[in-house]
């Protein structure tokens, strides 16, 4: 009779063998063959179909995160390459929302090569460099599990506006402001400190009970509604949102700056701020988080080296893989 230890070893070996086989099938039939034109987005949409309502989306996002967690820890070189490309595109999109005219390629050259782009303003160059530095800072905060406070938020803002408006960097506004194209009118400047204090009271009361994606979306919306700084509110609020997502193990959500997507983003924010209807904005952010999880899983699932990972992910997709002809 076999010992329990022998049986366990045998079971573990079989599980590892099954994982390797599923991974092999996944890579061969999705990444490397033309016989099955199903792309990864189609596959992921079949395994994790887009839910029609927000409450149903949240457990799905948790499942997708669990799939990503099954690949962790990621290979350091793979992670560095992934984050470099990801963060450059995030900087490009976040600045594009605010009117920065640098292209994605130009943003990369400014950030990675320190180049100066002809015909672009100094501020546009600084916006790219500052945002990239702010991402590094946010990732460091998440890694160190730093407690989120007003001081931390203002520190992020001070990086965003560094060299652009030095007197206003990390400092709440001292004048009344209007938001072009928005129905919402931000509160008067003397109300800002108390309103920001209230936001962080709300955060501390809800951070352990609210789903991380809702927590991140709501904090973004609440800060933008107060519009606490003279400039840099959108970029800083999105960085705050992504800090919260990173703290809970989610990848950065990149809100698109493409015209149609930007309008949808502004409309959802306006609905939350004018009608107290947060769900359209929460759902919009949830969809961006879902997209980010799909993209991360696509990058890590087909390029593994060494010991196989991703058992939970491959368990979910195995029934949906194309059958070998």
| Cβ-contact 111, 85 below 8 angstroms | no
| Cβ-contact 286, 217 below 8 angstroms | yes
pLDDT tens digits along 258-296: 999 999 999 999 999 887 789 999 999 999 999 999 999
Known catalytic membership, residue 227: yes
Region 183-192: mean pLDDT is: 91
Q: How many CA atoms lie within 13 A of 304 on its CB side?
A: 23
Alpha carbon 263 to its chain's center:
19
Higher pLDDT, 81 or 257: 257
d(CA 134, CA 123): 16
Question: What are the residues whose beta carbons fall under 8 Å from the beta carbon of 123, sequence distance 6 or more?
Answer: 164
25 pLDDT more than 70: no
pLDDT given for residue 27 in this prediction: 61
pLDDT given for residue 24 in this prediction: 66
| Cβ-contact 123, 98 below 8 angstroms | no
Region 104-130: mean pLDDT is: 97
Closest among 247, 203, 149, 144 to 157, alpha carbons compared: 149
- Specify the DSSP class assigned to residue 188: P
Question: What are the residues whose beta carbons fall under 8 Å from the beta carbon of 16, sequence distance 6 or more?
Answer: 308
d(CA 210, CA 188): 30
Range with the poorest average pLDDT among 26-30, 70-74, 89-93, 161-165 = 26-30
| Cβ-contact 97, 234 below 8 angstroms | yes
d(CA 224, CA 89): 22
SS3 breakdown of the chain: % helix, strand, coil, rounded to 5?
A: 65, 0, 35
Query: Helices (DSSP H) in 207-278: which residue ranges?
Result: 212-226, 233-247, 259-275
Give me the catalytic one of 36, 220, 227, 248: 227
pLDDT given for residue 307 in this prediction: 67
| Cβ-contact 130, 98 below 8 angstroms | no
Q: How many CA atoms lie within 13 A of 1 on its CB side?
A: 2
Buried b (16+ CB within 10 A) or exposed e, 271-306: bbbeeeebbbbbbbbbbbbbbbbbbbbbbbbeebee
310 pLDDT more than 70: yes
**Domain 79-171+187-320 CATH superfamily:** Fido-like domain (1.10.3290.10)
Higher pLDDT, 130 or 47: 130
Range with the poorest average pLDDT among 89-98, 141-150, 305-314 = 305-314
pLDDT given for residue 34 in this prediction: 36
pLDDT given for residue 1 in this prediction: 45
How do the domains of the chain map onto residue ranges?
Answer: 79-171+187-320
Q: How confident is the model at residue 36 (pLDDT cuts 50, 70, 90)?
A: very low
pLDDT given for residue 20 in this prediction: 65
Region 22-50: mean pLDDT is: 67
Higher pLDDT, 198 or 42: 198
In order, the DSSP letters of 67-91 are: HHHTTPSPPHHHHHHHHHHHHHHHH
pLDDT given for residue 304 in this prediction: 59
d(CA 132, CA 91): 6
The residue to which tokens 């009118």 are assigned: 185
Range with the poorest average pLDDT among 71-75, 118-122, 151-155 = 71-75
pLDDT given for residue 281 in this prediction: 97
d(CA 242, CA 223): 13
pLDDT given for residue 35 in this prediction: 42
- Specify the DSSP class assigned to residue 121: -
pLDDT given for residue 40 in this prediction: 74
Identify the helix (H) or strand (E) that includes residue 314.
Answer: helix 311-317
For the chain, give the number of residues.
325
Q: How confident is the model at residue 311 (pLDDT cuts 50, 70, 90)?
A: confident
């Amino acid at each position: 009779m076999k010992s329990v230890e022998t049986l366990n070893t045998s079971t573990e070996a079989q599980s590892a063998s099954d994982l390797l086989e599923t991974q092999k099938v996944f890579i061969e039939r999705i990444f490397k063959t033309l016989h099955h034109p199903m792309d990864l987005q189609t596959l992921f949409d079949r395994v994790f179909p887009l839910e029609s309502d927000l409450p149903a989306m949240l457990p799905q996002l948790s499942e997708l995160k669990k799939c990503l967690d099954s690949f962790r820890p990621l290979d350091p070189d793979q992670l560095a390459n992934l984050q470099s490309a990801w963060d450059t595109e995030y900087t490009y999109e976040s600045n594009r929302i605010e009117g920065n005219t640098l292209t994605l390629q130009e943003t990369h050259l400014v950030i990675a090569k320190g180049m100066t782009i002809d015909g672009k303003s100094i501020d546009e160059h600084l916006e790219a460099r500052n945002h990239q530095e702010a991402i590094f800072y946010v990732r460091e905060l998440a890694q160190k599990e730093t407690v989120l406070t007003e001081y931390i938020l203002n520190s992020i803002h001070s990086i965003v506006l560094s060299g652009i408006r030095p007197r206003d960097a990390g400092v709440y506004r001292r004048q009344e402001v209007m938001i072009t194209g928005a129905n919402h009118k931000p509160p008067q400047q003397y109300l800002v400190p108390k309103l920001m204090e209230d936001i962080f009271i709300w955060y501390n009361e809800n951070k352990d009970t609210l789903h991380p994606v809702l927590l991140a979306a709501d904090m973004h919306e609440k800060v933008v509604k107060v519009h606490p700084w003279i400039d840099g509110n959108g970029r800083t609020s999105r960085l705050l949102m992504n800090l919260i997502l990173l703290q809970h193990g989610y990848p950065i959500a990149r809100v698109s700056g493409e015209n149609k997507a930007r309008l949808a983003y502004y409309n959802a924010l306006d609905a939350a701020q004018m009608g107290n209807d947060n769900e359209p904005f929460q759902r919009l952010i949830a969809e961006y988080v879902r997209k980010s999880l799909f993209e991360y899983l696509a990058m890590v699932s087909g390029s593994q080296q060494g010991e196989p990972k991703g058992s939970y992910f491959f368990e979910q997709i195995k029934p949906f893989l194309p059958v070998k002809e």
